[in-house]
Amino acid sequence: MQSLPGFRDFLPDDCARRNYIFARWREVARRYGFVEWEGPPLEATELYKKKSGGEIVEQLFNFTDKGEREVALRPELTPTLARVVAAHEREFKKPLKWFSIGQFFRYEKQQRGRLREHFQLNCDIIGEKDLAADIELVALSIDILRAFGLTEKDFVVRISDREFWTDFFRGKNVPAERWDDLLQAIDKSTREPREKTAEKLGDLADPIFTALKSGGKGAKLEQLVDGLGARGLANFVAADVGIVRGLAYYTGIVFEVFDRAGKFRAIAGGGRYDNLISQLSDGSLSLPALGFAMGDVVVGELIDEIPQTREAMQKAIANDRKIDVYAVIAKEQRRADALAQIQQLRDRGYRADYPLTPTKVGRQFQSGEDLGARVAVLYGDEWPQVKIKNMGTGEQELVAGDKLLDRLAELL
């Protein structure tokens, strides 16, 4: 029997990598004053059909449950967030700064490196319309990647403003019902042949290509880039009105993070979705909002790609895995004494391990080394004294068994 196609098993090494990524996500989000929340992995399909636009619904991992409900494994968090905020916003002071780490799903044809599940960090700010919130959010996305040791040589945040385009459309008297299709075409323009984009843009192809080429960005986008510059983050960002983002619900600033080498898919993406909460609450509540998501797969690929970030990860994982004490039971008559002390060590919070069954002393030391034990404590002929061996330096000392805890408190 195997796991389902597109679903990963996290063996201990994989799980340690995943937890390394989660820990940095959580750590930096909290430095920014974001608080953690989480939604359910299964939602009513309706929640996504209404709000997310075409592509994501085609790829939904959806089904009918035993109670005849149309349900879906969540493809993204934002609709859940809007649902939860619409129900509970009165309980919280605005703005909310919330983050969440969870697993998301899509059903699509299997391709190299395309999974049917991945983990995402989602960070959102609810209830603040000022551009200061957009700056804060983009800065957070940058600092999270910096926490892995990534630098401005490794990644760039490409930032755009949907209003640049809606203003542009208004200026050209383009009817509003065409806007979505035009935005989708602009979004795909860097990935598709120019002719194909031109066909989709029709009579607007020339002015849109000119705008894309001109490097114009509009006042708001300029102000946002300046704000990031004031924080010393200018080298991490580039204004690029060619970025639009596929999801239908974005309304203002949108951004995507890419590796500089252009080797991977987007590392993260997000933007403003000021109308979504209003839509989901049928207009009873209106709150400006913005957020981004970052997936574990691409972040992991990028960390692996760059020697210094890969080594930093490996070192952190190796350190985190270490145990404190390995008890070497050299004489089986001492097993009960050793176990009583292991119980005490664990009670004090030490990571302590020992051989479950009689084992040769040499193999026990090897186990201690394999587990990264900082010291080995040998229970043998010396009892009621024990021998402490520093596994780093090889130094050994004898201490009275009943002084072991005191001595370890000094050593560890």
At its nearest, how many Å lie between a second copy and the CB of residue 194? 34
- Rounded Cα distance between 140 and 355, Å, is 46
For residue 84, the one-letter residue type is V
> In whole angstroms, how far apart are CA 21 and each of 57, 146, 198, 380?
28, 12, 41, 42
Of 252, 188, 250, the C-alpha closest to 224 is: 252
- Cβ proximity to a second copy: between 14 and 304 the closer is 14
**Is position 360 an interface residue for a second copy (rule: CB under 8 A)?**
no
Q: Is 41 in the site for a second copy (CB under 8 A)?
A: yes
* Residue 346 interacts with a second copy (CB under 8 A): yes or no: yes
Write the DSSP symbol of residue 401.
Answer: G
Region of 40-48, 163-171, 215-223, 287-295 interacting with a second copy (CB under 8 A): 40-48
43 binds a second copy (CB under 8 A): yes
Asked if residue 393 binds a second copy (CB under 8 A), the reply is no
Stretch 156-195 residues interacting with a second copy (CB under 8 A): none
- Within 134-153, the residues that bind a second copy by CB under 8 A are 136, 139, 143, 146
Please state the closest distance from residue 189 (CB atom) to a second copy, in A.
Answer: 30
Piece of 35-43, 167-175, 286-294, 298-306 that binds a second copy (CB under 8 A) = 35-43
Stretch that binds a second copy, among 240-248, 296-304, 342-350, 375-383 (CB under 8 A): 342-350
Count of other CB atoms within 10 angstroms of residue 303? 24
- Number of Cβ atoms within 10 Å of the Cβ of 162: 21
* DSSP class per residue in 343-386: HHHHHTT--EE--SS---HHHHHHHHHHTT-SEEEEESTTTTEE
Q: What are phi and psi of 178, to 5 degrees?
A: -85, -15
- Does 336 interact with a second copy (rule: CB under 8 A)? yes
| C-beta closer to a second copy: residue 39 or 242 | 39
Work out whether 71 is an interface residue with a second copy (CB under 8 A): yes
Phi, psi of 237 (to 5 degrees): -125, 155
DSSP string, 244-290: --S-TT--SEEEEEEETT--SS-SEEEEE-TTHHHHHTTTS----EE
Which residues ranging from 203 to 262 are in contact with a second copy (CB under 8 A)?
230-233
Please report whether residue 11 would count as binding a second copy according to CB under 8 A. yes
| Using rule CB under 8 A, residue 89 touches a second copy | no
Contact 135, 224 (CB under 8 A): yes
Rounded Cα distance between 279 and 277, Å, is 5
| Kind plus residue range of the DSSP H or E element containing 201 | helix 194-201
**Binding piece for a second copy, criterion CB under 8 A, among 1-9, 183-191, 201-209, 217-225:** 1-9
Which of 20, 25, 78, 95 contacts a second copy by CB under 8 A?
95
- Is residue 117 within the footprint of a second copy (CB under 8 A)? yes
Total site size for a second copy, rule CB under 8 A = 88
Candidates 130-138, 152-160, 188-196, 374-382; binding stretch for a second copy (CB under 8 A)? 130-138
Q: Is the Cβ of residue 251 or residue 359 nearer to a second copy in the bound state?
A: 359
Alpha-carbon distance of 124 to 270, in angstroms, equals: 9
Instruction: Candidates 10-18, 183-191, 257-265, 377-385: pick the segment binding a second copy (CB under 8 A).
Output: 10-18
